[in-house]
Amino acid sequence: MLAITCPGQGSQSPGFLNPWLELPGVADRLHWLSAVAGIDLAAHGTTSDEETIKDTAIAQPLIVAAGLLSLLTLFEHPADGFRVVGAGAGHSVGEITAASAAGVISAEQAMVLVRERGRGMAAAAQATPTGMSAVLGGDPDEVLAVLEQHGLTPANINGAGQVVAAGTIEQLAALAEAPPAKARVMPLKVAGAFHTEYMSPAVAEMGRLARAVSTHDARVPLVSNVDGAVIHSGREVLSRIVSQVSNPVRWDLCMETLKDLGVTGVIEIPPAGALTGLAKRGLKGVEVLALKTPDDLEAAHRMVREHGSARSASQPTWRLVTAPVKGTVEVGSAGPGAAVTPGDVVARISSLRDTLEVRAHHGGTVVEWLVEDGDPVSPGQPLLRLHPEGSIA
């Protein structure tokens, strides 16, 4: 199974788009995305210096645009990707890239959302001097305990021995002076404490914009930063993207889900590198590729052929209620012929961490249960089939 991962802020570097703009049609497409975003993305991806592209309001649209452009070179037609990609996931702002790639929102909607996300988070960061530092190594429980002692938030729990702490400049300085045992603290070049309560002002505006955005259910299963759950509902994907602005990123749980799904190959799209490094340590035995330049396309196309699994891109995932996580299922009381309304709890899944309610995101009539009470289930596994309209008599 092939997974596509989409990087987040901090992965950009000066001039990283130069080789991509030499490919036919890419420069014109970037010019269009620049018009939507109201930013000269070509200049920022080719000639702007490190300090300029570190600006949140520039970095986020630049990263999403780069990812969307690269997908046009990875798959000749977007529908090709829907047929062969088994899962998609984005880290932080990369979730917007992944949502567009999976058909939840259009590229134009993605650019508007990321433009406003970047502006809102940049403004929120200016209100209080805050920042982020990577904590590398150490005992995971001890690392979290030390962050709590310093009043810091584990804004990114990335797995593979990496946690990103976020908080005030004073709190981060105290962490650097008294780090967890056997851990190294590395300050990050970001404008503020992302994925913490300090970003709350940006959430309200993002939420208002999201209410006006039309969505489609994901044509590729998406793994969420919130809890590693597999999400199909377009509205839920967008809702989670909004709330994630001020909540921690659990990339460790995303990698666990990719493992549970049976992923054998992972391609990280540009600006690639960070997620590939985490996957090499956290997904042992899985082939990984950082798609950094067009020189990597030959290897990427080979991975698509070898790890991609052909499936119907037109299968209506909205007729199915699927398992968001791995665990043991407790089947609900709705039997064949019963009416289900959007939001109804139809099952529960118990894992080692907790018990999660499974809700129907679309109304309909129960056709059949595809599992039995007590069955072990995997992320994305169909649980219940619904007829979307009225009775099935």
Average pLDDT over residues 246-262: 95
- b/e per residue, 159-173, with b = 16+ CB within 10 A? bebbbbbbbbeebbe
The model's confidence at residue 317, banded by pLDDT at 50, 70 and 90, is: very low
One-letter amino acid for residue 291 of the chain: L
Q: What share of the chain is helix, strand, coil (3-state, %, to 5)?
A: 40, 20, 35
- Of the residues 11, 92, 224, 246, only one is catalytic, namely 92
Tokens describing residue 35: 């018009």
Task: Check if 195 is active-site.
Answer: yes
Sequence-distant (6+) residues with CB within 8 A of 318 are: 217, 232, 233, 361, 362, 388
What does the pLDDT read at residue 311?
A: 55
Residue indicated by tokens 């992972």:
266
pLDDT, one tens digit per residue, over 148-202 is: 999 999 999 999 889 999 999 999 999 999 999 999 999 987 889 999 999 999 9
What does the pLDDT read at residue 363?
A: 83
Asked if the bond preceding 336 is cis, omega within 30° of 0, the reply is no
Domains plus CATH for the chain?
A: 2-124+197-307 (3.40.366.10), 127-187 (3.30.70.250), 317-387 (2.40.50.100)
Closest CA to 242 of 389, 109, 95: 95
For 381, the enclosing helix (H) or strand (E) is none
Tokens describing residue 256: 């666990």
Tokens describing residue 162: 């990496």
Residue 76 has pLDDT above 80, yes or no: no
- Of the residues 44, 91, 150, 195, only one is catalytic, namely 195
Collapsing DSSP to helix, strand or coil, 385 comes out as strand
Give the DSSP letter of residue 180: P
What does the pLDDT read at residue 310?
A: 65
Q: Which residues pair with 89 in a beta bridge?
A: 5, 223
Contact 250, 343 (CB under 8 A): no
The model's confidence at residue 389, banded by pLDDT at 50, 70 and 90, is: low
For 9, the enclosing helix (H) or strand (E) is none
- How crowded is residue 346: how many other Cβ atoms within 10 Å of its Cβ? 20
Backbone angles phi, psi at 183, to 5 degrees: -125, 150
Per the rule left: phi > 0, alpha: psi between -120 and 50, beta: everything else, 118 is alpha
One-letter amino acid for residue 87 of the chain: A
pLDDT, one tens digit per residue, over 25-56 is: 999 999 999 999 999 999 999 999 999 999 99
What does the pLDDT read at residue 140?
A: 92
One-letter amino acid for residue 173 of the chain: A
**Nearest-angstrom CA–CA distance, 41 and 63:** 10
For 258, the enclosing helix (H) or strand (E) is helix 251-261
The model's confidence at residue 71, banded by pLDDT at 50, 70 and 90, is: very high
The CA–CA distances, whole Å, from 76 to 72, 73, 80, 196, 256 equal 6, 6, 7, 39, 30
Share of the chain above pLDDT 90, in %: 79
Burial label, 148 (beta-carbon count in 10 A; 0-12, 13-18, 19+): exposed
**Nearest-angstrom CA–CA distance, 328 and 330:** 7
What does the pLDDT read at residue 343?
A: 86
One-letter amino acid for residue 335 of the chain: G
Contact 64, 109 (CB under 8 A): no
Contact 84, 309 (CB under 8 A): yes
Closest CA to 155 of 136, 169, 176, 134: 134
Task: Check if 92 is active-site.
Answer: yes
The model's confidence at residue 313, banded by pLDDT at 50, 70 and 90, is: very low
Q: To the nearest whole number, what is the mean pLDDT of the chain?
A: 92
Tokens describing residue 273: 């590198």
Burial label, 181 (beta-carbon count in 10 A; 0-12, 13-18, 19+): exposed
Tokens describing residue 334: 């709705």
Closest CA to 170 of 131, 135, 196, 201: 131
